[in-house]
Amino acid sequence: MELTIRELTKRYGSKTALDHVNLSLQEGIYGLLGPNGAGKSTLMKIITDNLRADSGEVLMDGVPALKMGADFRRLLGYMPQQQGIYENFTARRFLYYIAALKGMEKRRAAKEVEEVAALVNLSGELDKKLGSYSGGMKQRILIAQAVLGSPKVLIFDEPTAGLDPKERIRIRNLISEIALDRIVIIATHVVSDIEFIAREILLLKEGKLIAKERPSALLKTVENQVFEIAVEEEALPEVQKRYRVGNICRDEEDTIWVRVITEKEPDGFRMRKPSPTLEDVYLHVFEE
């Protein structure tokens, strides 16, 4: 199974949202990273056939998606951000509604609604209105609707946004479980959520795909550029001007440690070298 994106280009007036993007994706999880305006939403909308590209194409196993039409859309599952929730629907009604939109016949829909509810641990909550759901429950019901119909390609838009750490871990583990035999694209600003589950990371900057690498390969690009330096409080503003700053913390000895990403080792500071994270890569690539 292969999803191919070939020379995809999209412009909004004078702004180029996507600039000749080429991708080849197989089964596994792909983290889609980039700042606001990088082209992530445009890419997802084109893949899900909610937007037409100016040029280029999307192919599934070598067949153009536009030629496949409804057959391609049946292979897709899409999880939007929470504004896709119908607050006055019960979860059961919502899932049946989505099943109808996907063209599922009633008997199959009844079976799958129960299956996906069990998958996301909401079997006992189906007859409650979605407006009464917590943030984590809403995210789980959105995952449930995305996997209705057993799609081969799943696209998740900010699946853990606004959740507490415990619920984020639950959602992350759930996505890992359902991704075993599917192509899964996760667009997120919570970089740590994909660091350990993504097969590859896709970096979009100003509409261009600038990297498609395994997390371990990206970490190597900054392994000698991440430092933690001890700083006096009054020196913090100057340090923040000079370096890309990832974190600032005060330890139990009242020492202020500043995590910086820089190609040149800082001079004149007490210093330690931590292991790099994907967040360091993000700052290195996207923070000017």
pLDDT, tens digit only, all 288 positions of the chain: 899 999 999 999 999 999 999 999 999 999 999 998 899 999 999 999 889 999 999 999 999 999 999 899 899 999 987 666 889 999 999 999 999 988 899 999 999 999 999 988 899 999 999 999 988 899 899 999 999 999 999 999 988 877 888 888 888 888 888 888 899 999 988 888 888 889 999 999 999 999 999 999 999 999 999 999 999 999 999 999 999 999 999 988 889 999 999 999 998 899 999 999 999 999 999 976
Task: Find residue 256's DSSP bridge partners.
Answer: 231, 250
Domain 221-286, what fold? Alpha-Beta Plaits (3.30.70)
| 3-class secondary-structure state, position 252 | coil
**Domain limits, the chain:** 3-218, 221-286
- Any residues with CB less than 8 A from the CB of 176 and at least 6 apart, and which? 29, 197
The whole-angstrom distance between residue 63's C-alpha and the CA centroid of its chain comes to 26
Please identify, in words, the CATH class of the domain defined by 3-218. alpha beta
Nearest to 73 by CA among 19, 146, 9: 146
